[in-house]
Amino acid sequence: MSHGRFGNEYLAESVGFATGRAHGIAKGAAAGWQKGYDLGYKDGHNDGYNKGWSKGNIDGQNKVVAEANPLFVEKNDLIANLQAQLDALKIVLKRKNEEHEQTHVEALQLGQLQQEQAKSLRAEYEQVHMAFLGLVAIATPLMNVFAKLPLEEKERLMDGEYGKLAVQLQSREYINANRFPHNQPLIVKYMPIASQVFNQAGKQIQAERAWRKQQEEYQEKFGAERPSAVAEGT
C-alpha cells in the first residue's frame, strides 16, 4: 500500500489535517471577516445614518421652532393688536352710525316742524290777506265820508288819531322808511281811494296852515285881518 510522498499514513493524515485545518481557518476567517465587515459596516452605516439624520432633523426642527416661536408670538401680538383696533373701529363706526341716524331723525323732525310752521304762516298770511281785503271793502265808503268832513275835522283826524295810531302800530322807524300807510305800496294798490283822499286832505291842510300863517303875519303887521279876497288871490 502506497502512502505517497509521505511514506507514512499517519504523517499524511497529520499533514492533511493540519493543511485542511489551516485552509479551513483561513477561509473561515476570510469569510467571517467579510461577513462581519459587511454586517458591521451596513449596521453601523445604517444606524449612524438613521441616528445622525434623526438627531440632525430633530435638532434642526428644534432650532427652527426656537427661532420661529418669537415670530409666532410677534405675529399673534400683531393679530391681537389689529383685532383690538378693528373692534375699536367697529365701536366708532357704530357710534357714528347712531349719531348719523340721530342727526337724520333730527333733520326729519326739523323739516317737519318747518313744514308745519310754513303751513301755519301761509294760513296766517291768508287770514291777514283776507282781512286786509275786507278792510279794503270798508275803506271806500269810509273814505267818501272822510272826504266830506270839514277841513278842521280832517286835520284833527290826520294829525291826531291817524298819525298817532300809525306810529303806534308800525313804529316811527318803519314809517320814516316806508311813509305813512296811505302812501305804502299795498294801500296804493288795493285802496287807491285812501291815498287819493289822504293826499288831497294833506294838501288842503297845508294850504290852510299857510293861509293861517299869512293871516297872523298880516295882522301882526297891520293890526287887522287880511281880506279874504286877497287871500284867495294868493
For residue 222, tell me if it sits in a domain. yes
Span 117-131, average pLDDT: 85
Tell me the three state secondary structure of residue 179.
coil
Q: Is 38 a domain residue?
A: no
Q: Is residue 215 part of a domain?
A: yes
Binned at pLDDT 50, 70 and 90, residue 7 comes out as low
CA distances from 93 to 79, 82, 96 (A): 20, 16, 5
Mean pLDDT along residues 130-137: 78
Distance CA 229, CA 215 (A): 12
User: Is 180 a domain residue?
Assistant: yes
Question: Total domain count for the chain?
Answer: 1
Which pLDDT value is given to residue 232?
40
- What range does the domain containing 216 cover? 149-233
Any domain includes 170: yes
CB 12 within 8 A of CB 6: yes
On whether the CB atoms of residues 117 and 124 are closer than 8 A, the answer is: no
Q: What is the mean pLDDT of residues 70-75?
A: 79
* Best-predicted range by mean pLDDT (57-66, 136-145, 199-208, 220-229): 199-208
Judge if pTM exceeds 0.85.
Answer: no
Of the candidates 133, 114, 125, 108, the residue with the CA atom closest to the CA atom of residue 187: 133
Is 28 inside a domain boundary?
A: no
Examine residue 164 and state whether it is found in any structural domain, yes or no: yes
Rounded Cα distance between 174 and 168, Å, is 11
Give the chain's radius of gyration (CA, Å).
Answer: 68
Taking only the tens place, the pLDDT of each residue in 139-173 is 778 888 888 888 888 888 887 788 888 889 889 99
CA 175, CA 28: separation in Å to the nearest integer?
148
CA angle at residue 117 from 115 to 122, to 5 degrees?
Answer: 95
Number of helices (H), then strands (E), in the chain: 7, 0
What's the mean pLDDT in 66-79?
A: 79
What count of Cα atoms within 13 Å lies in the side-chain half-sphere of residue 191? 24
Mean pLDDT, rounded, for 171-178: 90
Does residue 27 form part of some domain? no
* Confidence at residue 6, expressed as pLDDT on a 0 to 100 scale: 52
The per-residue pLDDT for 173 is: 93
pLDDT at 216: 85
Burial degree of 157 (CB within 10 A; 0-12, 13-18, 19+):
middle
Residue 234 has pLDDT above 70, yes or no: no
